[in-house]
Amino acid sequence: MKGHIQKRGANSWRIKVDTGRDPLTGKRATTYVTVRGTKKYAQRELARMIHEVETGHFVELSKMALSEYLEHWIEDYAQTAVSRSTFERYSELLRLHVIPHLSAVPLSKLKPLHIQKLYGGLLTNGRRDGTGGLAPQTVKHVHRVLHQALQHAVRWQMISLNPAASVDPPKVERRQIDVLSNEEARELVEASRGTRLYAPIVLALNSGLRRGEILGLRWQDLDFEGRQLSVTQSVEQTSAGLRLKEPKTKRSRRSITLPDVAIETLRKHKIQQSQNRLRLGRDYQDNDLVFPQLDGNLQNPRVFSKDFKRLATRIGLDHVTLHGLRHTHLTMLLRANVHPKIASERAGHSSVAITLDIYSHAVPNMQEDAARVMDELFKNAEGE
């Protein structure tokens, strides 16, 4: 017998299935499952389970509590699989917003309804200080991390299906990306001239690098003659302090061709940095960084952003953040009819679709250009 059913109550049946030998002990392994419904339903479940055992697709549901599983996932998987700052964010989202609310639910008993109710509660009263709900974007981040954690439980054969896959995360309205006009970009560059922000601002506007990539840039990553910049590392802020990390994806590790204005600015910046290094002597820590602190050590990304914000606010451009310079660069490329694939490669996006989705505000201009080209083609054809 591969298995059988036994009546337990009016509409309750106990299913026993022989799942083969335990690979570690060599003993016969048996799984017991209780279902509610008619006898025919219990027989169908028994047949389904036996079929899964025979075809090698049977997954014995875990009796581990969801909270215990998530703690294991955080410590045993996330801690070594993602960057330190990402690990800290994953830990925060799960430990603050998931584990306290679903701690008593067994992993194998977790249903989409549990998760949907969790999201509803977080949206209405999820703030730790009791002053209201979390932002939809935050709850969406919770969903992404929980979905990822539960998908690993499926891969590790602890559950058969991912319940988060059947749950809709809250919709998030896409905010308009604030970018600089050509005139505002020139104004910002002129306002920063003579300050420590000048060279990084020029580079950001001409390369589309992220903040951490700018601060992690080394002189060895620059080829002045070939006008090439290689993105090989980034600075991140963690609870333990600043650290360098490798690019998150293969596309993030990329080479970018720089215009002459950026190359010339970096040449002058290198001379100024050499002069500062000579003045400080032994007090200067030479880490080969292009934009370090005055003593050569890693520059804090948050402080860097605050310095930029003060400058932008002083000249009336407080609507744009440091990250907005990256958006400005990519928007300018698309509006200048640079091929989206080139813009995507410079951005380090994993696909062209992501670039066009994020910068859809630049697409109408491209659509108008396409229509204008077609008009010209047909006008010329009519004139022949």
**153 domain residue, yes or no:** yes
**174 domain residue, yes or no:** no
Largest Cα separation within the chain, whole Å, is 88
Q: How do residues 326-359 score in pLDDT, each as one tens digit?
A: 999 999 998 888 999 999 999 999 899 888 888 8
CB atoms closer than 10 angstroms to residue 214: 25
- Asked if residue 84 lies in contact with residue 240, where contact means CB atoms within 8 angstroms, the answer is yes
Whether 49 and 77 share a structural domain: no
Confidence tier at 384 by pLDDT (50, 70, 90): low
**378 domain residue, yes or no:** no
Is the four-CA dihedral 260, 265, 266, 268 of positive or negative sign?
positive
Whether 145 and 282 share a structural domain: no
**375 domain residue, yes or no:** no
**74 domain residue, yes or no:** yes
* CA separation for the pair 117, 101 (Å, rounded): 10
Whether 102 and 232 share a structural domain: no
Please identify which residue in the block is written with the tokens 């009819």: 337
Whether 206 and 274 share a structural domain: yes
**177 domain residue, yes or no:** no
Give the model's pLDDT for residue 94.
Answer: 96
- Work out the percent of the chain whose per-residue pLDDT is above 90: 60
DSSP assignment letter at 360: G
Taking 70 as the threshold, does the pLDDT of residue 168 lie above it? yes
| 233: helix, strand or coil | coil
Give the model's pLDDT for residue 34.
Answer: 83
Q: Give phi and psi for 248, each to the nearest 5.
A: -70, -35
* CA separation for the pair 95, 116 (Å, rounded): 18
Please identify which residue in the block is written with the tokens 């990256």: 326
Whether 331 and 231 share a structural domain: yes
Average confidence (pLDDT) over 118-142:
92
CATH number where 138 lies: 1.10.150.130
Q: How do residues 256-295 score in pLDDT, each as one tens digit?
A: 999 999 999 999 999 999 999 999 999 999 999 999 999 9
Whether 305 and 358 share a structural domain: yes
Confidence tier at 96 by pLDDT (50, 70, 90): very high
Whether 46 and 88 share a structural domain: no
Confidence tier at 302 by pLDDT (50, 70, 90): very high
Q: Cα–Cα distances in Å, from 154 out to 148, 159, 162, 244? A: 10, 5, 7, 33
* CA separation for the pair 325, 309 (Å, rounded): 12
- Tally of domains within the chain: 3
Give the model's pLDDT for residue 212.
Answer: 95
Whether 211 and 95 share a structural domain: no
Taking 70 as the threshold, does the pLDDT of residue 25 lie above it? no
Give the model's pLDDT for residue 73.
Answer: 94
- Asked if residue 35 lies in contact with residue 13, where contact means CB atoms within 8 angstroms, the answer is yes
Average confidence (pLDDT) over 354-367:
75
**265 domain residue, yes or no:** yes
- Asked if residue 234 lies in contact with residue 214, where contact means CB atoms within 8 angstroms, the answer is no
- Enter the tokens of residue 118: 């969790």
Give the model's pLDDT for residue 364.
Answer: 65
Q: Please choose, from the candidates 228, 236, 231, 262, the residue with its C-alpha nearest in 3D space to the C-alpha of residue 247.
A: 231
Whether 116 and 194 share a structural domain: no
Residue ranges making up the domain that contains 292: 182-366
Taking 70 as the threshold, does the pLDDT of residue 60 lie above it? no
Give the model's pLDDT for residue 336.
Answer: 87
Cβ partners under 8 Å of residue 182, min gap 6: 332
DSSP assignment letter at 105: S
**176 domain residue, yes or no:** no
Average confidence (pLDDT) over 33-55:
87
| Bridge partners for 325 per DSSP | none
Q: How do residues 241-258 score in pLDDT, each as one tens digit?
A: 999 998 878 888 999 999
Q: Cα–Cα distances in Å, from 267 out to 221, 224, 262, 349? A: 14, 8, 9, 28
The more confidently predicted of residues 217 and 11 is 217
Taking 60 as the threshold, does the pLDDT of residue 171 lie above it? yes
